[in-house]
Structure 1
Amino acid sequence: MKQARARSLQWILVRRLILLQAAMLVFFIVLFITALSVANPQLMVDNEAAVAAITGAIDRDKDGKLIVSDTKELADFRTEYPYVWYIIRDQSGQSLRIGSVPADYDRDLGDLLRAVDHANIGFAGKEEGREMRPEAYVQKVDTKAGPVQIVTSTLHSRAEADGFIINVTATVDMARNPDGSANWARVLPGIVVGLAIFLVPIIVVMGVTTLVTTPAVVRRSLAGLVGTANEAARIDVSTRAIQLPVENVPQEIVPLVHAFNQALARLAQGFDRHNRFLTDAAHELRTPIAILRTRAELLKEEPQSLRLRQDIERLSHLAQQLLDHQLVDRPANHRQAVDLAELAGRVAADFAPLAIEAGYDLAFEPPHGKVEVEANVLQIEQALANIIRNAIEHGGGHGTITVAVDAAGGLEVRDEGPGIPAEEHRNVFEPFYRLHPLSRGAGLGLNLARQIAQLHGGSIAIVNGSWKGAHVRIELPPLRAAA
């Protein structure tokens, strides 16, 4: 079954933030449009406000002539805009001018301009004085004097403006039916397209910004968690009591780290209890085994007594190997710079009588110079001793057992026996695995050697080749190789 791919928190946040921002933007625009439709506000700039103030003051005298009454609203507007001017025309052509009307506006506006309901009038260009003409506003309104057209501006010249003026004009018109009602079948697609033109660039900019900033923010926020994960990756059997730091971990992940630390503590306690049990059991076995060996040595030399002594030796060897396994679990701070050649030569010399008694020749091949490694001497000696003992046990009882050291930090033990089949090269390092079930070994020697090699940052393997016998090689990281 294919394992599901883990989802990236970073990209989940990016997608959800983009969707959230887009949804919020659409929501606020819809809310704004709804509020405008309900409130129906009248937004006016200065010139439109002038029309509103003038409209309420227009009237006719008893002779029917246009007049402008001095209303409070108009008086207040004049106080705020002292340069205001306006032209009032009715449908009969009668007109009224108030204020200093610029020359460009004091003329016939033409049939088209008289027919429009409202418009902005402005001048631009390079002609002399034209850029100084202010913008004016023209609008048809209903007054007490009847329908009239008002042309007005709060400025006589742009030179009278305070700094600068911003005019914002928004005109919304829509297709209508002959009866004047809105033609929504044609209006709605236009509204959708208009909103898309307005919203899509904003959403794209917000999305790109989120896409760029969110990964950096997430990486920075999770930097402490990454450090804690790296600490967790370095935990092994020799550092099982370590506790992961929580100082820089996000608050939401702290409970998970605490739970992991508690699990590590429980595992360490259980592992220690298990080791103590094995150590105590091995120690307890040594006394009865010693008693058995003493009593067996008092027996007559017979085939059964010889077989009994061999079984006792095997049992004693198993108990010793159980104790040796506890050596691997000791702290790794008892290391020192060791000459691998000197160490291997000493162990080979110790095993020479045992190898010769078993029918072998034992050779030692030192390197050219010192090969120094940082190691626990007792552990490396134990690993090499187990491999040599294994070669004596399974080397066929003839030939030469060679112990070799090279400048790369390699320790090799070679025999000329039947060897180890290639398909068994990995299995022989498993605990209690024996290539020959009836052999005297307990199946712990090579497993212990592998644990010691890994504990020192090295490795152990069965070397493949066309030679006869088994070649077992330990590689340890050398400090230096002296010529």
Structure 2
Amino acid sequence: MKKIRPRSLQWVLVRRLILLQAATLLIFIGLFTLVLWVANPRLLIDNEAAVAILKSAIDRDANGKLIVHETQELKTFLQEFPKLWYIARDTNGQAVQRGDIPIGYGNDTSDLLKAVDHATLGFREGDLRPEAVVSKIDTKAGPIQVITSTRASRDENEGLEVNIDMQVDMARNPDGTTAWIRVIPVLIIVIIALLLPIIIVMGVTTLVTTPAVVRRSLAGLVATASQAGRIDINNRAMQLPIEQVPLEITPLVQAFNHALARLGQGYDQHNRFLTDAAHELRTPIAILRTRAELLTEDPQSARLLQDIERLSHLAQQLLDRQLLDQPVGPGEVVDLVELTGQIVADFAPLAIAAGYDLSFEPASKSVHAQVNALQIEQAVANLIRNAIEHCDGKGTITVLVDEAGGIEVRDEGPGIPEEEHEHVFEPFYRLRPRSSGAGLGLNLTRQIARLHGGRVDILTGPWRGARIRLELPLYKPA
């Protein structure tokens, strides 16, 4: 079965936005082309407009003389451009002109200029003669070449003038018709050359800005997901914020918060039940111990007392395990050497009675740590008790404190196989099924160490027996 790869919401949005923009651009180009095709507009500037008006006004009188009719269109144009001048000349050299003709334009032109179909005449920057248009047009009077301009001098503009002159000449067949076979490929190349820079700029801008915009839009969701990843059993009361979450994701975050609240309530109820049960067990166990001590001394009575002691120890460990979930203060600064020495002194009678030699090797100087002293006492006591219970009453148990904040308990028993190093820290796991322990000691020790930012490890080496090291962070005064 093919594994389904999760999709990135960010890149899904980016791809769709890019496709949307590309589709919008194509639709705009298509509509713009359609409008141009239907409307067939002509871009006329002032001089070109003058040529178009003169085309309909030029005619001949009854004697064949070239004239320009004062059409209504020409009158309106003269009101807007009173400085209009023109020279209309036919193929025979007959001419008609109007207005203040600038120097040089009124002279008879060369054969080459007479043969020009359309051109724009201009002069260098220091010359005040205006720009004019030369155009050969078909009129009622026949083919006429017109030279015209709406100004008599370049100093008549109003400060800024933009001149646009664009001529499109297409390849033609010998009969004068457009050679579309040659024109269409070139036209496509021209269109691509005009549109490609726009497409590239839009594409690059989209690829650069769209991911940043989408990433910024999803920043609140990413931050919320990061906070959700930090939720564990020790801070299950945390609620995810919804202020920066997109509106569409808010119901999911709220549902997640409600689920966290329900799980926290259930977990608290479970803990209270176990704590209450452990408390309630202590009273009947104490009564059983008292009654068992009143029995006559025989092997059955001794085994009964051992079973009661084991049951009492299990109830106490269950209670201690539940108390680990209760909030504690910042702790107090203690000397691990002094604290461990007191614990070793308390266990000395028990170890000697079980057949062991108990040795204490303190560090050469004080080792301070900021801890909950009662919990650390419990953790170290669990390690010593574990050594007493599993070494068959032989050898020496050594408790060592070093300057790095480590507390080691070493024994000379059968040791712990390396493949069991992780399993022995699991709750209720016993390396030997018939052991008198409950399987909670090492688990409690590890939990206590983690609460204090420390760790518990089973060391490996050529020595005989087991070596378990509890390491705590040293206290560093501000």
Normalising by structure 2, what TM-score?
0.91
Contact 1:57 1:70 in 2 (8 A): yes
Equivalent residue number for residue 72 of structure 1:
72
1:273 is matched with: 269
- Higher mean C-alpha deviation, range 51-60 or range 150-159: 51-60
The residue aligned with 1:22 is 22
- The match for 1:293 is 289
Cα deviations across residues 302-324 of structure 1 (Å, max 9, x unaligned)? Answer: 33333333222222222211111
Unaligned runs of 5+ in 2: none
Between stretches 107-116 and 439-448, larger displacement belongs to 107-116
Query: For the Cα contact (< 8 Å) 2:86–2:148, is it kept in 1?
Result: yes
For 2:6 and 2:370, locate their aligned partners in 1 and report how far apart those are by CA, in whole Å: 40
Give the structure 2 partner of residue 152 of structure 1: 148
- 1:205–1:396 Cα change, 3 Å: farther
The equivalent of 2:340 in structure 1 is 344
The residue identity in structure 1 corresponding to 2:34 is T
Aligned residues of 1:407 and 1:481 also touching (Cα < 8 A):
no
In structure 2, the partner of 1:329 is: 325
**Matching of residue 398 in structure 1 with residue 402 in structure 2:** no
Superposed CA offset, 1:423-444 (max 9, x none): 1111111111111111011111
The AA in structure 2 aligned to 1:40 is N
Q: Quick check: 178-187 or 467-476, which moved more?
A: 178-187
- The alignment status of 1:122 with 2:135, answered yes or no, reads no
> Structure 1 residues 180 and 62 mapped into 2: Cα distance closer, same or farther (>3 Å)?
closer
Mean Cα deviation higher: 296-305 or 342-351: 296-305
Alignment partner of 1:202 is 2:198: yes
Of 468, 472, 475, the match for 1:476: 472
Contact 1:371 1:480 in 2 (8 A): no
Query: Is the alpha carbon distance of 1:40 and 1:481 closer, same or farther for their aligned partners in structure 2, counting shifts above 3 Å?
Result: closer
Checking the alignment, whether the CA contact within 8 Å between 1:370 and 1:481 is kept in structure 2 is no
Aligned to 1:164: 160
Paired residues, number: 478
Deviation track 1:377-431 (CA, whole Å, cap 9, x = no partner) reads 2222221111111111112312222222222222211111111111111111111
Partners of 2:44 and 2:271 lie apart in 1 by 88
Q: Which residue of 2 aligns with 1:43?
A: 43
The one-letter amino acid paired with 1:283 is H
Contact preservation (8 Å) 2:120, 2:134: yes
Specify whether residues 481 and 347 from structure 1 end up closer, same or farther in structure 2 by C-alpha distance, changes over 3 A only: farther
- The answer to whether the aligner puts 1:238 opposite 2:225 as a matched pair is no
Q: Deviations over 1:341-395 (max 9, x none)?
A: 2222222222121111111122222223332222222222221111111111112
Q: Secondary structure at the match of 1:338?
A: strand
Distance change in 2, residues 1:152/1:345 (3 Å) = same
Please tell me whether residue 261 in structure 1 is matched to residue 251 in structure 2.
no
- CA positional deviation for 1:84: 1.4
Please report how far the alpha carbon of residue 67 of structure 1 lies from its aligned counterpart in structure 2 after TM superposition. Answer: 1.6
Change (3 A) 1:180 1:275: farther
Compare 212-221 and 373-382 and name the one that shifted more. Answer: 212-221
Please, which of 309, 314, 319 is the counterpart of residue 315 of structure 2? Answer: 319
Q: Which runs of 5+ in 1 are unaligned?
A: none
Contact 1:372 1:481 in 2 (8 A): no
State the Cα distance separating 1:186 from its structure 2 match: 4.0
Asked if residue 59 in structure 1 is aligned to residue 55 in structure 2, the reply is no
**Mapped contact 1:327–1:379 kept (Cα < 8 A):** no
Say if 1:118 and 1:416 are closer, same or farther in 2 by CA, change over 3 A: same
What is residue 104 of structure 1 aligned with on the other side?
104
Structure 2 equivalent of residue 308 of structure 1: 304
Separation (CA, whole Å) in 2 of partners of 1:463 and 1:340: 20
How do residues 79-94 of structure 1 correspond to structure 2 at under 5 angstroms? 79-94=79-94
How do 1:440-451 and structure 2 match up within 5 A?
Answer: 440-451=436-447
CA drift at 1:173: 4.1
Distance in 1 (CA, whole Å) between partners of 2:177 and 2:374 is: 101
State the 1:237 CA deviation. Answer: 1.6
Work out whether residues 414 and 472 of structure 1, in 8 Å CA contact, stay in contact via their aligned partners in 2.
yes
Distance in 2, Cα, partners of 1:186 & 1:416: 100
Cα gap change, 1:29 to 1:435, in 2 (>3 Å): same
**Correspondence for 1:426:** 422
Q: Tell me how far apart the structure 2 counterparts of residues 79 and 437 of structure 1 sit (CA, whole Å).
A: 116
Question: CA-to-partner distance for each residue in 1:44-84, whole Å, 9 max, x for gaps?
Answer: 10101111222333232222211222233222222222221
* Mapped partners of 1:333, 1:221: distance in 2: 40
CA contact (8 A) 2:14 2:214 kept: no
Corresponding residue SS for 2:476 = strand
Between 35-44 and 218-227, report the one with greater CA deviation. 218-227
Compared with structure 1, are the counterparts of its residues 283 and 42 closer, same or farther at alpha carbon in structure 2 (3 Å cutoff)?
same
CA distance in 1, matches of 2:230, 2:371: 19
| CA distance in 2: counterparts of 1:208 and 1:259, whole angstroms | 40
Q: 1:244 to 1:30 in 2, by over 3 A?
A: same
Greater alpha carbon shift after TM alignment, 217-226 vs 144-153: 217-226
Letter in 2 for 1:198: L
